[in-house]
């Protein structure tokens, strides 16, 4: 096919182009089957003359994004800006270095610039995104109606549904990390004081308030759900798996995705999405940033300040809606 003479910019890896533009593409991710990604990588190799290492980087980054999209039923050409942001946030949470995240965004920008020039998509969904210094990537959050729909999704007539509803209520009520939630024990809960004792990063302990509705859901689970599960000998885990042991973070991620689908939520969400929503909704309703920092267990206030950027979008809306000269 004829490919547009598009300059993809500097090679991602920093390697100089091969002199004769010859690249071994057989082992490059994305070249396994015909399609837009394979055409794009061939364009970079044979028309732009990028090095093998650069092609590998582009192919790996774009294949990772395609894999990320697959559970939602989308392909690369159907991706939106929010899909890219969710992809980068998930990569950040998995521990990828900042320079790797920045390279992934470059790969996406170049691919979609090519796709626009080739007439494959009407617009570049990555065009307005800046290089991802991670404090600039705003976390995905749910609206209050979306949270309510998610919390209502489990079937509370079953022991499993009671457990899952209590888990979702606890995540949203406390803003706990996934590892902190699965690490809760029966001794972590102090219902009379409306708090939970949490062991967070660096084995640091903190006390987090928990609301009445979450406590009611936990009480319902303990009285009517947990007795149907047989805990392993000596297990004091608050939330049990089918085998009677503590839950895993992978399992927690899967259950949230399942209930999000049941609630009709199309966003890519994770346990961290409820943590972000917890903090954002507190800030929107006037909570002090330092208090949010303490509840989230952030060592540095600068980490918590990302939520002020999230809230800025609401402030802009209010300004546009109500200022007489907006």
DSSP 225: I
Tokens 């991802």 correspond to what residue? 132
Catalytic residue chosen out of the listed positions 70, 123, 133, 201? 201
Say if CB 252 and CB 178 are below 8 A apart.
yes
Say if CB 279 and CB 175 are below 8 A apart.
yes
Residue 206 annotated to the active site: no
Residue 212 annotated to the active site: no
The DSSP code sequence of 89-106 is HHHHHTT--HHHHHHHHH
Catalytic residue chosen out of the listed positions 43, 48, 177, 281? 177
Catalytic residue chosen out of the listed positions 226, 275, 276, 281? 275
Question: What is the rounded distance in angstroms from the CA atom of residue 306 to the CA atom of residue 14?
Answer: 31
First CA to last CA across the chain, in angstroms?
49
Question: What is the rounded distance in angstroms from the CA atom of residue 309 to the CA atom of residue 307?
Answer: 5
Question: What is the rounded distance in angstroms from the CA atom of residue 3 to the CA atom of residue 44?
Answer: 10
Strand partners, 208: 196
The dihedral formed by the CA atoms of 41, 42, 48 and 49, expressed in degrees to the nearest 10: 100
Residue 194 annotated to the active site: no
Residue 272 annotated to the active site: yes
Catalytic residue chosen out of the listed positions 58, 114, 172, 307? 307
Catalytic residue chosen out of the listed positions 48, 104, 268, 272? 272
- Exposure string of 257-278, with b = 16+ CB inside 10 Å and e = fewer, is bebbeebebeebbbbbbbbbbb
Six token digits for residue 122: 């009407």
Q: Cite the active site residues.
A: 177, 201, 272, 275, 298, 307
């Amino acid at each position: 096919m004829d490919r547009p003479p598009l300059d993809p910019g500097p090679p991602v890896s920093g390697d100089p182009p091969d002199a004769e533009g010859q690249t071994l593409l057989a082992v490059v991710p994305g070249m396994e089957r015909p399609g837009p990604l394979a055409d794009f990588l061939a364009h970079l190799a044979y028309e732009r003359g990028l090095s093998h290492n650069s092609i590998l980087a582009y192919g790996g980054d774009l294949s990772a994004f395609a894999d990320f999209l697959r559970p939602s039923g989308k392909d690369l050409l159907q991706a939106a800006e929010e899909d890219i942001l969710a992809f980068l946030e998930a990569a950040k949470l998995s521990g990828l270095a900042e320079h790797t995240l920045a390279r992934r965004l470059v790969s996406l920008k170049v691919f979609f610039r090519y796709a626009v020039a080739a007439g494959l998509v009407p617009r570049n969904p990555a065009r307005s995104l800046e290089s991802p210094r991670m404090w600039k990537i705003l976390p995905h959050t749910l609206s209050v109606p979306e949270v309510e729909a998610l919390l209502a999704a489990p079937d509370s007539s079953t022991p499993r549904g009671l457990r899952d509803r209590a888990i979702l209520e606890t995540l949203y009520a406390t803003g706990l990390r996934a590892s902190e939630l699965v690490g809760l024990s029966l001794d972590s809960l102090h219902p009379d004081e409306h708090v939970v004792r949490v062991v967070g990063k660096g084995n640091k302990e903190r006390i987090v308030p928990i609301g009445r509705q979450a406590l009611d859901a936990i009480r319902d689970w303990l009285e009517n759900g947990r007795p149907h599960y047989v805990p392993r000998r000596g297990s004091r885990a608050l939330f049990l798996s089918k085998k009677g042991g503590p839950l895993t973070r992978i399992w927690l991620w899967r259950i949230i995705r399942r209930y999000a689908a049941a609630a009709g939520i199309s966003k890519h969400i994770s346990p961290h999405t409820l943590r972000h929503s917890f903090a954002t909704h507190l800030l929107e309703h006037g909570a002090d940033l330092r208090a949010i920092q303490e509840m989230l267990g952030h060592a540095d206030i600068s980490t918590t300040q990302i939520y002020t950027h999230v809230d800025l979008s609401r402030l802009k809306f209010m300004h546009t809606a109500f200022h007489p000269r907006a």
